[in-house]
Amino acid sequence: MRLALIGDPVAHSRSPRLHRRFLEEAGIDGDYVSIRVPRDNAVDVLRRMRMDGYTGCNVTYPLKEEALRACDVIDEEARRVGAVNTVLFGMEIRGTNTDGIGARSALESVLDEPLALKRVGVLGTGATARAILSALQACDAYAFAWGRDDEKVADLHARFECDAWPEDNPPEITINTLPPDVVLPASLVDQLQLTDFVMDANYGERATLAKQLRREVIPGDAMLEAQARASFDYWLAHVERVGN
């Protein structure tokens, strides 16, 4: 299996290490590499990767929306989210999105119980935030969205049936999908110090939210591994179907 990650930046990514481990555990001869691809280049790069014999590809910031345009077929989840993070190459280019699966799995692992009926807040309005809100809607959680763009936040409310951020009673659980350099308003920082726990989609050196909030924040390693496993299983199922 020939696999890759595209995005910008990618040097920090732990995806190659994870997927090489998955390949070894499955006894599959293959490799996974990271390729830096600047914005506005995803379509051309993905089409070239198909011609070059890649089996699959993960897509990260800022290319998840662009990747939709390269796909001949996208599943319902990618369509709802409006973004692709997992691509399968074959006679057609197929796209799906496993970010929501990763977030839900990581949260339920921390809680040791389902998310149904939990109050969960999502910071951000981008592709990762939309995937998480889609997963929360599917599991009947009470979701709330916060963002810096009022129009985008209103779109999230309509698309995923989530509510406006409850300033007088913040959600018990919060997931941050904002970039590491975003400075949150002081009022929001105060609210997030009162929540049961906060999870950051960023990890490693990019997980800087704990310093800003001055509290413990769960980094995004578990989210990354869960969505990576879902991507790998998606590719593996295809390879097994072809083999049979």
| Catalytic machinery residues | 64
**DSSP-derived 3-state class of residue 114:** coil
**In Å, how far are 46, 53, 77, 180 from 94, measured between CA atoms?**
11, 14, 12, 30
DSSP 178: S
Dihedral class, residue 112 (left if φ above 0, else alpha if ψ from -120 to 50, else beta): left
Q: Are 220 and 60 in contact (CB under 8 A)?
A: no
What is the C-alpha to C-alpha distance for residues 62 and 145, in angstroms, rounded to an integer? 21
Tell me: cis bond preceding 185? Omega within 30 of 0 counts.
no
Dihedral class, residue 222 (left if φ above 0, else alpha if ψ from -120 to 50, else beta): alpha
Residues 6+ apart with CB under 8 A from 118: 111, 141, 142, 172, 173
